[in-house]
Amino acid sequence: MTSPDLVPLRRALISVSDKTGLIELGQALAARGVHILSTGGSAQRLAEAGVPVTEVGDHTGFPEMMDGRVKTLHPRIHGGILARRDDEGHVAAMNAHDIPGIDLVVVNLYPFEATVAKGADFETCIENIDIGGPSLIRGAAKNHDFVAVVTDPSDYAPLLAELAAHDGQTTLDLRRRLAAKAYARTGAYDAAIGAWFANRLGQTWPESVTVSGTLRQTLRYGENPHQTAAFYVTGERRPGIATATQLQGKELSYNNLNDTDAAFELVAEFERPAIAIIKHANPCGVAEGDDLPGAYARALACDPVSAFGGIIAANRTLDAVTAEAISRLFAEVVIAPDADEAARAVLASKKNLRVLLTGDLPNPAQAGTLIKTVAGGFLAQSRDDGRVLPTDLKVVTKRGPTPKELADLLFAFRVGKHVKSNAIVYAKDLATVGIGAGQMSRVDSSRIAAIKSREAAQAAGLSEPGTKGSVVASDAFFPFADGLIAAAEAGVTAVIQPGGSMRDQEVIDAADERGLAMVFTGMRHFRH
C-alpha cells in the first residue's frame, strides 16, 4: 500500500509531563478546529486557558484509575492511533466499535531521569516510570503513515508551521522524522531505566546495556576533514564540556572537544590553583601555584613550543592577569569554572579564542564509565578514579624521599595519570619540566622528556634543564633499568612508579647506585 503524503489533522491526543508550550500549542490546534483529547494535568491546564478539550476518560467511558497508572491503555485510544486508514478491515473495525481516528499524539514522558538525578527513593523512581506514554509514542510512530507523534516541545513550532503551510495537513516527511525521534526517545528512556535498575541491584556489568545520548552539536568534521562527527550528551551530571557555556570564539571542533575534555579532567586533579596546557590530548605543561598567574607561567615554561595552538585549562576563576598572559599565546580553547568580568573583557579581544565556563570542576574520585568502540562492539570500563596518597607509598630504596621530593612525586604521578602511555613525567616545584608521552618503549619516553626539557631551557636562556634536581613519575613499572637510568642521567633525584615488574630489584639497585629515592604506588595509570 502506498502511504499518503498529506494527512489532515482532525483529532489530537495531548498528554505531557513537561507543560512547556502546551497552552500555545493547544490554542493553535483549537484555532484550526482540531478536536483535542487530553489527560489529567494537561487537560486541566488547557481547560483553564479556555482551550476546548475532551478528557480521555470521557472519550473512553472509563475514568483514570489506579493513581493514574491506567488512563490511556484502552482500545478506543490505541485503536484510533494504530488503525490504517487505507485498510478496509481496520476502517470496518473502527466503525463497528466507534473508534475515531487520532491523527496527532503529543506526549512527553514522566521525568524518570530527572527523578533519579535528584536522588529520589526507590518507590518514587518506580512511580516515575511511564507506561502509557511509551505505548502511545510507539504506537503513533509505528503508524506514522497516518499519525504524527511529537515528544519534544521544541517540535511544536515546526509542526504548527507545517500545518500552516499545508492547510492543516502533515507531510509524510515530517511524520517520519518525528517517528524516528520518538523511537530514539523511548529507547533512551528504557536505557535509563535499565541502567538505574542494574545499579540498584549492584550489577556493575549487566547482561545487556544500551548507550544513549542527545545530539548537542553536529560538527564540521571529525579528526580529519573526510570524517563526519557529532557531539552527543548523555545527561551525566559531570562538570566539563557537556555543561559548559561558550562565551565566545569559533565553533568547537571534534579535536577541540576531545582535547578540552582531557585538559579539564587533568586540571581538576589539584586542590591548589593549577593550569594544564594540552596538545593532542596530552599535557605539554602543568603546574600548581599560589595563584593562577604563577601556575600559568610555570606550566607554559615546560614546553612553550608545543603549547602553541593548545588548550588551556584552569581550576579557578580566571582573573585579568592570567587572561592577559593567555592572550599573548595563540590558543584554541580556554576552559575554567568561571572568569571575572575583567578577564572576560581581556579574552574578548581574541575573537577566535573559544572560552568555555563550566560552573564547577569534575570530581576526580567520582565513579563513572568510559566507553571505546571496537569492531563489532565496544569496551566499557570504570573511570580511572584512583588517587595515590602519601600513606599508599612504599619506599623501596635505601634513601626515602624528602618532603619536597614527596610533594613533587605525588604531583608528577597525578599528571602521569593523564598522559598517554608509555608516560614519563619530570616535575620540580609542583610544575612539569619534561613530559614523554605515547612511546612504544618507556626508555624512549624518558629520553624524549629529557630532550624537551633541554630544548625549553635553551630557548629560555637557562644554564641547565629543568630536569636537574627534578623527580620523575612513570605511569607503569620500569620493565628494565634503562628508563630509570635515562631519567637519572637527566638529573632526577627521586622516582615514583607502580612497581610489580619481574625486574623490580634490578631497577631498585640502579636507583640505589645513583643515590635516588624511589617509591612504589601499587597502582598503575595506563592511558591508551
Active-site residues, by number, are: 142, 280
Cell of 277: 596546557
Cell 584552569 belongs to 314
| CA pair distance 315, 459, nearest whole angstrom | 28
C-alpha 48/C-alpha 23 separation (Å) is 9
| C-alpha to C-alpha distance for 381 and 467, rounded to whole angstroms | 35
- Between CA 130 and CA 526 the distance in angstroms is 42
| Structural contact between residues 220 and 250, judged by C-beta atoms closer than 8 angstroms | no
Residue 384 and residue 413 in contact, taking contact as beta carbons nearer than 8 Å: no
Distances (CA, A) of 86 to 93, 166, 185, 193, 470: 12, 21, 28, 37, 80
Rounded to the nearest 10 degrees, the angle between the axes of helix 75-82 and helix 88-96 is 160
| Long-range contacts from 270-273, C-beta under 8 angstroms, 24+ separation | 270/315, 270/411, 270/414, 272/430, 273/314, 273/315, 273/316
Whole-angstrom Cα distance, residue 105 to residue 149?
A: 5
| β-bridge pairing 394-395 and 310-314 | unpaired
Q: What are the backbone angles phi and psi of residue 473, rounded to the nearest 5°?
A: -120, 140
For residues 237 and 227, give the distance between their C-alpha atoms in angstroms, rounded to a whole number: 29
- 66 dihedral zone (left: phi>0; alpha: psi -120 to 50; beta): left
Residue found under cell 528504557: 190
- The neighbour count for residue 502, using CB atoms within 10 Å, is 8
Cβ 264 vs Cβ 358: under 8 Å? yes
